[in-house]
Amino acid sequence: MRRPPKPESFDRFYMSKVALGENCGCAERVIDHRDIERAKRDAALRGPGLLTRLWRRLFR
């Protein structure tokens, strides 16, 4: 029985597709979406921003 292929590391994928400019930009879009999702997740973990907290404190 054949083993399934190992998933390609992100660094190797980036260097082969994006950094060398071999694709049509699809890989760049995937990376952008990945970064956006990471930013959303990080923002959800951090909670409300500084301005939101100040606004709530001043106008309770």
pLDDT digits (tens, 9 = 90+) for 15-48: 766 666 655 667 677 777 778 888 887 777 776 7
User: Domain extents for the chain?
Assistant: 10-58
What is the residue type of 55?
A: W
For the chain, the three-class secondary structure string (H helix, E strand, C coil) is CCCCCCCCCHHHHHHHHHHCCCCCCHHHHHHHHHHHHHHHHHHHHHCCCHHHHHHHHHCC
Least trusted range by pLDDT, from 4-13, 16-25, 32-41, 49-58: 16-25
Q: Give the predicted TM-score (pTM) of the model.
A: 0.40
- pLDDT grade, residue 10 (50/70/90)? confident
